[in-house]
Amino acid sequence: MKETWPWFGAQDTVTLTHIRPAGASGIVTALRDYPPSEGWPVRDIKARKAMIEAEGMTWDVCGSIRMHDAIKLKGSAAKAEVAAWVETLRNLVGAGVKTICYNFMSMLDWTRTKLTNELAGRGQGLCFDMVDFVAFDVHILGRPNAEADHAPDMLAAAQFRWREMSAAEKFALESNIIAGLPGSAKGFSHADLLAGIKSFAVLSHSDLQAKLASFPAVVVPEAESLGVRLAVHPDDPPFPLFGLPRCVSTTGDLTFLLAVQQSPANDLTFCTGSQGAHADNDLPAMASTIGAQTQLAHLRNVQREDDGSFMRRQPLPAVPI
Protein backbone atom coordinates (compact mmCIF):
# COMPACT_ATOMS: atom_id res chain seq x y z
CA MET A 1 0.00 0.00 0.00
CA LYS A 2 1.27 3.46 -0.91
CA GLU A 3 0.51 6.51 1.23
CA THR A 4 -1.02 9.32 -0.81
CA TRP A 5 -2.37 12.75 0.11
CA PRO A 6 -5.47 14.57 -1.24
CA TRP A 7 -4.41 17.94 -2.63
CA PHE A 8 -6.74 20.54 -4.09
CA GLY A 9 -4.18 22.21 -6.32
CA ALA A 10 -2.29 25.46 -6.40
CA GLN A 11 -4.99 27.28 -4.39
CA ASP A 12 -4.72 24.79 -1.51
CA THR A 13 -3.32 26.34 1.68
CA VAL A 14 -1.56 23.02 2.30
CA THR A 15 1.19 23.05 -0.29
CA LEU A 16 3.19 20.24 -1.87
CA THR A 17 6.16 21.48 0.11
CA HIS A 18 4.19 20.78 3.30
CA ILE A 19 2.96 17.37 2.16
CA ARG A 20 6.23 15.62 1.38
CA PRO A 21 7.72 15.96 4.90
CA ALA A 22 4.47 14.52 6.33
CA GLY A 23 5.38 11.17 4.79
CA ALA A 24 3.24 10.91 1.66
CA SER A 25 4.99 10.00 -1.57
CA GLY A 26 1.94 10.20 -3.83
CA ILE A 27 -0.78 12.75 -4.52
CA VAL A 28 -4.53 12.45 -5.09
CA THR A 29 -5.77 15.46 -7.02
CA ALA A 30 -8.05 16.66 -9.81
CA LEU A 31 -8.56 19.68 -12.06
CA ARG A 32 -11.56 21.21 -10.31
CA ASP A 33 -11.74 24.38 -12.41
CA TYR A 34 -13.44 22.58 -15.27
CA PRO A 35 -17.21 21.98 -15.32
CA PRO A 36 -18.33 18.34 -15.49
CA SER A 37 -19.51 18.78 -19.08
CA GLU A 38 -16.01 19.66 -20.32
CA GLY A 39 -13.03 17.35 -20.84
CA TRP A 40 -9.75 18.30 -19.16
CA PRO A 41 -7.11 19.47 -21.66
CA VAL A 42 -3.94 17.40 -21.92
CA ARG A 43 -1.75 20.46 -21.39
CA ASP A 44 -3.33 21.24 -18.01
CA ILE A 45 -3.14 17.62 -16.87
CA LYS A 46 0.54 17.54 -17.75
CA ALA A 47 1.14 20.85 -16.00
CA ARG A 48 -0.41 19.52 -12.77
CA LYS A 49 1.65 16.33 -13.07
CA ALA A 50 4.86 18.32 -13.59
CA MET A 51 4.11 20.49 -10.56
CA ILE A 52 3.80 17.39 -8.38
CA GLU A 53 6.88 15.69 -9.77
CA ALA A 54 8.94 18.84 -9.24
CA GLU A 55 8.45 18.23 -5.49
CA GLY A 56 9.64 14.63 -5.76
CA MET A 57 6.21 12.99 -5.64
CA THR A 58 3.90 11.29 -8.13
CA TRP A 59 0.28 11.87 -9.18
CA ASP A 60 -1.16 8.45 -8.36
CA VAL A 61 -4.93 8.95 -8.21
CA CYS A 62 -7.40 11.25 -9.88
CA GLY A 63 -9.92 12.06 -7.22
CA SER A 64 -12.18 12.55 -8.99
CA ILE A 65 -13.52 13.22 -12.50
CA ARG A 66 -16.69 15.19 -11.86
CA MET A 67 -19.85 13.69 -13.22
CA HIS A 68 -22.57 15.83 -14.77
CA ASP A 69 -25.99 15.53 -13.13
CA ALA A 70 -27.39 14.54 -16.54
CA ILE A 71 -25.58 11.20 -16.19
CA LYS A 72 -27.19 10.61 -12.80
CA LEU A 73 -30.61 11.47 -14.23
CA LYS A 74 -30.32 9.64 -17.56
CA GLY A 75 -27.43 7.19 -17.15
CA SER A 76 -25.53 6.33 -20.32
CA ALA A 77 -28.28 8.01 -22.36
CA ALA A 78 -26.54 11.30 -21.46
CA LYS A 79 -24.19 10.69 -24.36
CA ALA A 80 -22.46 14.09 -24.57
CA GLU A 81 -21.77 14.18 -20.83
CA VAL A 82 -20.46 10.60 -20.79
CA ALA A 83 -18.25 11.41 -23.80
CA ALA A 84 -16.72 14.37 -21.92
CA TRP A 85 -16.04 12.12 -18.93
CA VAL A 86 -14.37 9.50 -21.14
CA GLU A 87 -12.30 12.21 -22.87
CA THR A 88 -10.87 13.23 -19.49
CA LEU A 89 -10.26 9.57 -18.66
CA ARG A 90 -8.23 9.10 -21.85
CA ASN A 91 -6.26 12.30 -21.29
CA LEU A 92 -5.36 11.26 -17.74
CA VAL A 93 -4.15 7.88 -18.95
CA GLY A 94 -2.01 9.63 -21.55
CA ALA A 95 -0.28 11.43 -18.68
CA GLY A 96 0.19 8.21 -16.71
CA VAL A 97 -2.65 8.57 -14.16
CA LYS A 98 -4.41 5.21 -14.09
CA THR A 99 -6.47 5.12 -10.89
CA ILE A 100 -9.67 7.15 -11.15
CA CYS A 101 -12.02 7.80 -8.24
CA TYR A 102 -15.60 8.89 -8.94
CA ASN A 103 -18.94 9.14 -7.14
CA PHE A 104 -22.62 9.07 -8.02
CA MET A 105 -24.19 11.39 -5.44
CA SER A 106 -27.33 13.28 -6.44
CA MET A 107 -26.94 17.08 -6.51
CA LEU A 108 -24.39 17.56 -3.71
CA ASP A 109 -20.97 16.04 -3.31
CA TRP A 110 -19.68 15.28 0.21
CA THR A 111 -21.72 17.30 2.69
CA ARG A 112 -20.96 18.62 6.18
CA THR A 113 -22.69 21.11 8.43
CA LYS A 114 -19.48 22.28 10.12
CA LEU A 115 -15.97 22.40 8.68
CA THR A 116 -14.13 23.45 11.84
CA ASN A 117 -15.54 21.31 14.64
CA GLU A 118 -13.35 21.71 17.73
CA LEU A 119 -11.75 18.51 19.01
CA ALA A 120 -11.11 19.34 22.69
CA GLY A 121 -7.74 20.99 22.23
CA ARG A 122 -6.60 18.55 19.56
CA GLY A 123 -7.36 20.59 16.46
CA GLN A 124 -10.45 20.70 14.28
CA GLY A 125 -12.38 18.25 12.15
CA LEU A 126 -15.39 18.00 9.85
CA CYS A 127 -18.83 17.36 11.34
CA PHE A 128 -22.28 16.42 10.06
CA ASP A 129 -24.82 17.44 12.70
CA MET A 130 -28.25 16.02 11.86
CA VAL A 131 -30.12 18.63 13.89
CA ASP A 132 -28.34 21.42 12.02
CA PHE A 133 -29.05 19.71 8.71
CA VAL A 134 -32.77 19.40 9.45
CA ALA A 135 -32.84 23.04 10.59
CA PHE A 136 -31.36 24.02 7.24
CA ASP A 137 -33.64 21.75 5.21
CA VAL A 138 -36.88 22.82 6.90
CA HIS A 139 -36.31 26.39 8.09
CA ILE A 140 -33.53 27.94 5.97
CA LEU A 141 -33.95 26.25 2.60
CA GLY A 142 -37.68 25.74 3.12
CA ARG A 143 -37.88 22.62 0.94
CA PRO A 144 -41.53 21.80 0.20
CA ASN A 145 -42.80 18.91 2.36
CA ALA A 146 -39.40 18.54 4.04
CA GLU A 147 -41.09 17.79 7.36
CA ALA A 148 -42.32 14.45 5.99
CA ASP A 149 -38.73 13.18 5.73
CA HIS A 150 -37.79 13.80 9.37
CA ALA A 151 -38.95 12.31 12.68
CA PRO A 152 -41.07 14.49 15.01
CA ASP A 153 -38.39 14.64 17.72
CA MET A 154 -35.80 15.74 15.14
CA LEU A 155 -38.16 18.42 13.80
CA ALA A 156 -38.67 19.77 17.32
CA ALA A 157 -34.93 19.83 18.03
CA ALA A 158 -34.24 21.51 14.69
CA GLN A 159 -36.86 24.18 15.28
CA PHE A 160 -35.34 25.01 18.67
CA ARG A 161 -31.81 25.04 17.19
CA TRP A 162 -32.90 27.34 14.34
CA ARG A 163 -34.55 29.81 16.72
CA GLU A 164 -31.40 29.99 18.82
CA MET A 165 -29.06 30.54 15.85
CA SER A 166 -27.70 34.00 15.10
CA ALA A 167 -27.84 35.36 11.57
CA ALA A 168 -24.12 34.67 11.25
CA GLU A 169 -24.58 31.05 12.34
CA LYS A 170 -27.39 30.53 9.84
CA PHE A 171 -25.24 31.99 7.08
CA ALA A 172 -22.29 29.76 8.02
CA LEU A 173 -24.51 26.66 8.04
CA GLU A 174 -25.88 27.50 4.60
CA SER A 175 -22.39 28.16 3.25
CA ASN A 176 -21.06 24.86 4.54
CA ILE A 177 -23.86 22.87 2.91
CA ILE A 178 -24.44 24.55 -0.45
CA ALA A 179 -21.82 27.23 -1.16
CA GLY A 180 -19.38 24.73 -2.65
CA LEU A 181 -16.83 22.48 -0.97
CA PRO A 182 -13.48 21.40 -2.46
CA GLY A 183 -15.01 18.24 -3.91
CA SER A 184 -18.10 19.94 -5.28
CA ALA A 185 -18.72 20.95 -8.85
CA LYS A 186 -20.17 24.32 -7.81
CA GLY A 187 -22.03 26.24 -5.18
CA PHE A 188 -25.80 26.61 -5.25
CA SER A 189 -28.32 29.32 -4.58
CA HIS A 190 -31.57 28.34 -2.86
CA ALA A 191 -33.34 28.42 -6.21
CA ASP A 192 -30.66 26.24 -7.85
CA LEU A 193 -30.81 23.66 -5.09
CA LEU A 194 -34.60 23.52 -4.97
CA ALA A 195 -34.79 23.13 -8.75
CA GLY A 196 -32.20 20.36 -8.69
CA ILE A 197 -33.98 18.56 -5.87
CA LYS A 198 -37.21 18.69 -7.87
CA SER A 199 -35.51 17.11 -10.90
CA PHE A 200 -34.06 14.23 -8.84
CA ALA A 201 -37.15 13.70 -6.69
CA VAL A 202 -38.77 11.60 -9.43
CA LEU A 203 -36.08 8.90 -8.95
CA SER A 204 -36.35 6.06 -6.46
CA HIS A 205 -33.34 4.18 -5.07
CA SER A 206 -33.76 1.49 -7.73
CA ASP A 207 -34.13 4.13 -10.46
CA LEU A 208 -30.87 5.80 -9.47
CA GLN A 209 -29.20 2.41 -9.15
CA ALA A 210 -30.25 1.58 -12.71
CA LYS A 211 -28.76 4.87 -13.97
CA LEU A 212 -25.52 4.05 -12.16
CA ALA A 213 -25.46 0.53 -13.59
CA SER A 214 -25.67 1.83 -17.15
CA PHE A 215 -22.62 4.06 -16.64
CA PRO A 216 -19.94 1.37 -15.98
CA ALA A 217 -21.53 -0.73 -18.71
CA VAL A 218 -20.22 1.95 -21.09
CA VAL A 219 -17.03 3.20 -19.42
CA VAL A 220 -15.58 0.03 -17.84
CA PRO A 221 -14.76 -1.63 -21.20
CA GLU A 222 -13.03 1.61 -22.20
CA ALA A 223 -11.12 1.73 -18.91
CA GLU A 224 -10.18 -1.93 -19.24
CA SER A 225 -8.71 -1.35 -22.70
CA LEU A 226 -6.67 1.57 -21.32
CA GLY A 227 -5.39 -0.35 -18.28
CA VAL A 228 -7.28 1.94 -15.87
CA ARG A 229 -8.83 1.11 -12.48
CA LEU A 230 -12.09 2.95 -11.75
CA ALA A 231 -12.78 3.18 -8.00
CA VAL A 232 -16.29 4.33 -7.07
CA HIS A 233 -16.45 6.31 -3.82
CA PRO A 234 -19.32 5.62 -1.43
CA ASP A 235 -21.96 8.25 -0.75
CA ASP A 236 -20.92 10.80 1.85
CA PRO A 237 -23.06 10.82 3.96
CA PRO A 238 -24.27 7.30 3.11
CA PHE A 239 -27.97 8.09 3.45
CA PRO A 240 -30.56 10.25 1.62
CA LEU A 241 -30.33 14.03 1.83
CA PHE A 242 -33.22 16.37 0.96
CA GLY A 243 -35.40 13.33 0.34
CA LEU A 244 -33.22 12.23 -2.58
CA PRO A 245 -32.01 8.65 -3.04
CA ARG A 246 -28.39 7.55 -2.75
CA CYS A 247 -27.28 4.22 -4.14
CA VAL A 248 -23.61 3.69 -3.14
CA SER A 249 -24.09 3.52 0.61
CA THR A 250 -24.33 -0.09 1.83
CA THR A 251 -22.78 -3.50 1.25
CA GLY A 252 -25.76 -4.36 -0.94
CA ASP A 253 -25.24 -1.25 -3.06
CA LEU A 254 -21.55 -1.98 -3.58
CA THR A 255 -22.11 -5.65 -4.33
CA PHE A 256 -24.72 -4.69 -6.92
CA LEU A 257 -22.33 -2.31 -8.65
CA LEU A 258 -19.47 -4.82 -8.73
CA ALA A 259 -21.78 -7.38 -10.34
CA VAL A 260 -22.81 -5.00 -13.14
CA GLN A 261 -19.38 -5.25 -14.76
CA GLN A 262 -17.16 -7.98 -13.40
CA SER A 263 -13.83 -6.52 -14.41
CA PRO A 264 -10.52 -5.47 -12.81
CA ALA A 265 -11.41 -1.99 -14.05
CA ASN A 266 -14.59 -1.88 -11.92
CA ASP A 267 -13.23 -1.36 -8.40
CA LEU A 268 -14.09 0.40 -5.15
CA THR A 269 -12.81 3.16 -2.94
CA PHE A 270 -13.07 1.75 0.58
CA CYS A 271 -13.76 4.86 2.66
CA THR A 272 -13.99 4.02 6.35
CA GLY A 273 -15.26 7.52 7.10
CA SER A 274 -18.16 7.46 4.65
CA GLN A 275 -19.10 3.80 5.07
CA GLY A 276 -18.65 4.04 8.83
CA ALA A 277 -21.29 6.78 9.04
CA HIS A 278 -24.04 4.27 8.15
CA ALA A 279 -25.28 2.38 11.22
CA ASP A 280 -25.83 -0.86 9.27
CA ASN A 281 -22.35 -1.02 7.75
CA ASP A 282 -20.03 -3.54 9.41
CA LEU A 283 -16.63 -2.35 8.15
CA PRO A 284 -14.59 -5.49 9.02
CA ALA A 285 -17.24 -7.67 7.34
CA MET A 286 -17.26 -5.37 4.29
CA ALA A 287 -13.48 -5.56 4.09
CA SER A 288 -13.71 -9.36 4.13
CA THR A 289 -16.38 -9.63 1.45
CA ILE A 290 -15.47 -6.85 -0.99
CA GLY A 291 -11.99 -5.81 0.13
CA ALA A 292 -10.32 -7.71 -2.71
CA GLN A 293 -11.97 -5.29 -5.15
CA THR A 294 -10.68 -2.20 -3.38
CA GLN A 295 -8.25 -0.11 -5.38
CA LEU A 296 -8.15 2.92 -3.11
CA ALA A 297 -8.64 3.30 0.66
CA HIS A 298 -9.58 6.41 2.60
CA LEU A 299 -8.74 5.71 6.23
CA ARG A 300 -10.73 8.07 8.47
CA ASN A 301 -12.18 7.44 11.91
CA VAL A 302 -15.68 8.75 12.58
CA GLN A 303 -17.77 8.92 15.71
CA ARG A 304 -21.42 8.21 14.90
CA GLU A 305 -24.34 9.39 17.04
CA ASP A 306 -27.75 7.73 17.40
CA ASP A 307 -29.52 10.56 15.53
CA GLY A 308 -27.35 10.08 12.42
CA SER A 309 -24.80 12.80 13.20
CA PHE A 310 -21.15 11.93 12.73
CA MET A 311 -17.81 13.65 13.12
CA ARG A 312 -14.11 13.01 13.16
CA ARG A 313 -13.31 10.77 16.11
CA GLN A 314 -11.12 12.14 18.86
CA PRO A 315 -7.52 10.90 18.57
CA LEU A 316 -6.80 8.00 20.93
CA PRO A 317 -4.43 8.81 23.83
CA ALA A 318 -0.93 7.44 23.65
CA VAL A 319 -0.54 4.17 25.53
CA PRO A 320 2.89 3.13 26.93
CA ILE A 321 4.16 -0.18 25.60
> Which segments of the chain belong to CATH 3.20.20.150?
4-107+205-312
Residues pairing with 26 in the sheet: 4, 58
Cβ atoms of 216 and 86 within 8 Å: the answer is no
**In this structure, what DSSP letter does residue 163 have?**
H
pLDDT of residue 88 exceeding 90:
yes
**Nearest Cα to Cα of residue 270 among 256, 247, 253, 286:** 286
pLDDT of residue 317 exceeding 50:
no
Residue 126, phi then psi, degrees to nearest 5: -75, 155
Burial of 194 (0-12, 13-18, 19+ CB in 10 A): middle
Q: How far is CA 182 from CA 11, 29, 165, 187, in A?
A: 11, 11, 26, 10
| Mean pLDDT rounded to a whole number for the chain | 89
| Fold classified for 4-107+205-312 | TIM Barrel (3.20.20)
Q: How far is CA 138 from CA 97, 110, 134, in A?
A: 43, 20, 6
pLDDT in tens, 10-68: 888 889 998 988 888 899 999 988 888 899 999 999 999 999 999 999 999 998 898 99
pLDDT at 186: 60
Q: CA-based diameter of the chain, in Å?
A: 59
pLDDT of residue 101 exceeding 50:
yes
Lowest mean pLDDT among 169-173, 226-230, 316-320: 316-320
Specify the pTM: 0.89
Cis peptide leading into residue 184 (ω within 30°): no
The separation between CA 82 and the C-alpha centre of its own chain, rounded to angstroms, equals 19
pLDDT in tens, 164-203: 999 999 999 998 988 655 545 566 788 889 999 999 999 9
Q: Which helix (H) or strand (E) holds 267?
A: strand 266-271
pLDDT at 299: 83
